[in-house]
Each structure stands twice: as structure tokens, then as C-alpha cells.
Amino acid sequence: MANVSPTRGDITAHPDVPEMRDRYDRMLGGRDVALVDGPVFLLGLYCAASPWILHYTTSQPALVTHNLIMGIAIGLLALGFTRAPERMYGLSWAFCAMGVWMIIAPWVVGESPDAGVIVNNVIIGALAVILGLVCAGTAAKSTPRP
């Protein structure tokens, strides 16, 4: 019986390989942190919705507005990471600062917050700091050195 299955040859000797690699690198734009964009967006979405999920809209109205604005800001930052990564990953440190602010916000913005509100904001803030450090580290690693 004849072998009719298609076989793939090795194209490393093809004359267009360097051009294809350059085009591929330009298309990616140096993106090494593509897997972090989704979790950052989901964190922003949860941060914005957390006052309604944990039902503290009536007991902490200032913190409701704060978390909504911070969640929208985190979500927009994630969309910026996705849309223009080469320009936006410099803001990874700002994302870390937003995480630290989220950790201390219940005491600064809120009025005698209960344990659920504090734990919620500390977890959101810690995740923001961790994801910001991952973005900053990967962006620093993928930046070409002169």
C-alpha cells in the first residue's frame, strides 16, 4: 500500500525563514506577558463588582464608589496591556501601587470596615501587586538591551 499521508519537511533551510521570524516578532510586539492580561482584567471586573457581590453597598457607600472606580481603572489598564503592550507595560509599577492602595483603602476611605470588606480589599490588593510584579519583571526581561 502506498504512503499517502502528507509529511512536513524541515523549513529551517528555507531562504525566507529570517524574514518570517522578523515578521512574527513584529506581530507579537515583544509580548511575553500575554497570559497575565486576562487575570488582570478579571481582577478589575471583580474589584468593580465586589461591593454588590459581598453586599456592603449600604454599610460602606464611599468604599463602593472607590472599588467601582478602581475596578474600572484596573480593567482599563488590562485592556491597555492587551492593546499596546510595548507602551503600557511601563505602567506595571503603577499597577503595583494601585494594589498597595487597595490594601490600605478600607481604613482610609471606609468607615469602620468589617472583616469581610478588609479581607476582600487585601486579597484584591495582594493579587494586584503580584500581577503587577509579574508584568514588570517580564517586561524588563523582554526589553532588548543595547
Q: Cβ–Cβ contacts within 10 Å for residue 85, how many?
A: 20
Is the confidence at residue 29, as pLDDT, over 60? no
Residues 111-136 have a mean pLDDT of 92
pTM for the model stands at 0.75
Q: Cβ–Cβ contacts within 10 Å for residue 137, how many?
A: 13
Q: Which three cell numbers stand for residue 22?
A: 522578523
Is the confidence at residue 90, as pLDDT, over 80? no
Is the confidence at residue 12, as pLDDT, over 90? no
**What pLDDT does residue 109 have?**
93
Q: Which of 97, 99, 102, 95 is closest to 66 using CA atoms?
A: 102
**What pLDDT does residue 81 have?**
82
Rg, C-alpha atoms of the chain: 22
